[in-house]
Chain A
Amino acid sequence: MQFDAIVIGSGMSGGMAAKELCERGLKVLVIERGKMIDPAKDYMDHLMPWELPNNNQVAEDEVAQHWPMQSMCYAFGSATKKFFAKDSEQPLSTPEDKPFAWIKGDHLGGRSVMWGRQTYRMSEMDLSANAKDGHGVDWPIRYADLAPWYDHVETFIGVAGSKEGLPQLPDGQFLPAFELNDAEKQFKAVVESKFPGRKVISGRVANLSVAQPQHTELGRTSCQARSICERGCRFGAMHSSLTSSLPAAKRTGNLTIVTDAIVHSLVQDPKTGKITAVKVIDAKTNEGRTYTAKVFFLNASTLGTAQILLNSANEANPRGLANGSDQVGRNIMDHMYGLATVAMFPGPEDSYYHGRRPTGIYIPRFRNVTEEGAGYVRGYGYQGGVFRAPWKAAALQPGVVGAEVKVRAHTLGPWIGVVAGFGEVLPNPDNRMTLHASRKDKWGIPIPHVDYAIGPNEKTMIKQILDDGRAMLEAAGGKVIKQADEAAMPGLGIHEMGTARMGLDPRTSVLNAHNQAHEVANLFITDGAAMASSGCQNPSLTYMALSARAADHAVQLLKEGTL
């Protein structure tokens, strides 16, 4: 079969690119390296807690052998392990003293199936930050370029959120927000009155608080407040490639999907410089084959995309494909994560809530917006929540045994407040992925080697993330009981990005303003690799907006006959 377009990767960005290309009439092949997932058979969201294998834990020896890195992800368990790539099969190399976690999907839909669903726009401030302070290269686009595509994607995926009118966190096309509980409303009132300019809002989330016709026609229904989203949602109440973008692509009749197909490299025509084919290794049989098309979208995830470009080196491009700038693999950024402060919170004793809300609170960035940062550029936002302490805290105190354990466990716990900062990381060319000089995976492909560390700007920022978190909780009467003292292992933000950045100048960037490779006219890259800076917002929405925008542009070029 002849395809107009090939999309490599079926996750957050690949799913969206496929949908947009199919809806514009292109015959599209989606190539996924992982296994096929049939939600009806493979999701484990129907199991009761006592039915989950090993109490939703994976056998310890199996973790040690196959999942040492993946098991560090909060979403990893016996109900979800099928969604994670085995570290033993798809290893990552790092310097010994600079660990980096690569949390990786291995199935149709990729990480869109078990993502955290927090959904935020980047702002004009974010897209002009590089130009303003000189770090990295200037984005070739501004907010106005992205805004209509944010609208388009939000309407399709469904995002619950509240309109706040904040320039640093633009409003979008929102479904009704998930309401704050009474303790969170109390926290909001204190923070907003004692710290003018700061806001506590409902976490904007890609869960259907109220499903709309464009959702129900794809078989999706409103959120049932189960908050077991990472197992995959049979209600289709959260956006994932499996419930939204791929079904939308499929109904056009233009979509073909092939799974268990590992892209080895892209084949370039030396005369035209264009990609002509994708070389694939069958994950099960190790057999090689190729697929051809007119236009190619690379959505293999930030590290996977760079791995393919670097592994596609040829005579004319010994450094890798589309890499005249030597920027492929560089400028990795992953939001600083795990910078949490936990406090006992004096919430209303007579109030509780019902259901498991699939989001929490969000505190949009205020440093270097309404308040100056202490010796650093850029800033951070917080995710968190105020909730009733789970049974374990009170019930398992030393010396408490017998009936008293049960009394404590079934007594409503005190309120606990948590805020955890997500800090922006500057683009730094030395934070770099290369292909390992000698190690290859079981399919013979050189494994990625990541050399990454946060720099002085980030380290300075950490102190204020923790200080501000503590100050807000204490201002509301909270008593801090735990606080992180450093960011989690890099990579665990699971927001890695930047390995094929957009930019104006082909000498310093890989992609142009439409995510088209400067050096390869029919190659578009719209996953996290494209990001020229990280902002501090969860990035998936931006990847999807870039994907839809680039797909529209690619189809225009095809129609004009310029591709």
Chain B
Amino acid sequence: METMLEMDRRALMQRAMVLLGATALAGCDFLPGSKTAATLRPDQAKLLGAFSDTLIPQTDTPGSLGAGVPKVFAQMYSDWASDKTREELSGALDRIDAAAVKEKGKGFADLSPADRQAFLAGYDKAALVDVPPPADAPKGNPFAPVISVVDNGYAKLKDLVATIYYTSETALTKELVYEHVPGGWTASVKVTPQTRPAITFGAF
């Protein structure tokens, strides 16, 4: 059964396709047997850059742009994501932009960094409000819970961007700790103000 959200997303995609027109779509890169473009439209790519940069900005360390998140995202969008996931991700980007236009009168990427941050904080909070999962949703388990929020596509987008950042060489050398060969297990280490968490694979 389709959720309201999925129907809305589909309607939105259809509207977007009508607005773009056949000429623009013909320029997109389609994979064999797929009805969904395998690459983001240029405006979506620009939006992704602005979104990633706002979600994880440069501070005293590089942010998403410095860590090359958009490039990895684009590669995974083409090589990893299914049509359904591509629709979810690009739909989530389109919805951010549509909301920015409605609220601020400008596309998200055209806002000032401060305005992006303020807008996205509110948008993020509203999009991630929990909603009861549909009756036929998979059950999930404590380690892989089923995500059911107002905008599941947005939850996926945010998770993917952040995950790409926190597996990047930049983040794992400048923000968190990753040692490929720790050399041994030390059961107790004193926490100091300099302590940064080490990433793990699975629980341990």
Contact = CB atoms under 8 A, between A and B. Distances in A.
Interface stretch (B19-27, B78-86, B98-106): B78-86
A180 B57 CA distance: 38
Contact of A224 (B80, B81, B182): B182
Contacts of A402: 54-57, 117, 120-121
Given A356-B204, A391-B176, A410-B196, A396 B189 contact: no
Contacts of B125: 398-399
A86 to B, nearest CB: 18
A148 to B, nearest CB: 31
A225 B142 contact: no
B128 A412 contact: no
Interface string B122-144: 10110111000000000101110
Contacts of B75: 54
Given A55-B167, A354-B186, A356-B182, A412 B195 contact: yes
Interface in A306-363: 338, 340-342, 349-360
Given A48-B169, A391-B176, A55 B56 contact: no
A402 B50 CA distance: 12
Contacts of A54: 75-76, 79-80
A454 interface: no
B124 to A, nearest CB: 5
B121 A399 contact: yes
Contact of A401 (B54, B142, B191): B54
A409 interface: yes
Residue in B81, B83, B196, B203 with the greatest tally of chain A CB atoms within 10 Å: B203
A391 B176 CA distance: 9
Contacts of B148: none
Interface stretch (A56-64, A139-147, A257-265): A56-64
Contacts of B72: 55
Nearest to A488: B141
Contact of B191 (A351, A387, A399): A351
Interface string A35-49: 000000000000011
Interface in B165-204: 166-169, 172, 175-176, 178-191, 195-204
Interface residues of A, number: 67
A357 B182 CA distance: 10
A534 to B, nearest CB: 22
A353 B182 contact: no
B187 A182 contact: yes
B59 A406 contact: yes
B14 interface: no
Contact of B185 (A179, A392, A400, A410): A179
B147 to A, nearest CB: 11
A402 B72 CA distance: 20
A428 interface: no
A352 B200 CA distance: 13
A60 B142 CA distance: 22
B190 A350 contact: yes
Contacts of B121: 399-402
10 contacts: A226-B182, A340-B142, A340-B143, A341-B142, A354-B189, A355-B186, A360-B203, A398-B128, A402-B54, A402-B121
Closest 5 CB pairs of A and B: A399-B125, A398-B128, A60-B82, A355-B182, A179-B187
Interface of A: 48-50, 54-55, 57-61, 64, 74, 178-182, 222-228, 338, 340-342, 349-360, 385, 387-388, 390-392, 395-396, 398-403, 405-406, 409-413, 418, 482-484, 486, 488
Given A55-B76, A399-B122, A410-B197, 20 more contacts: A48-B169, A48-B178, A49-B199, A54-B79, A55-B72, A55-B163, A182-B187, A226-B182, A340-B142, A352-B189, A353-B186, A354-B198, A360-B203, A385-B204, A390-B197, A391-B176, A392-B163, A410-B175, A483-B142, A484-B142
Interface of B: 54-57, 59, 61, 63, 72, 75-76, 79-85, 117, 120-122, 124-125, 127-129, 139, 141-143, 145, 158-159, 162-164, 166-169, 172, 175-176, 178-191, 195-204
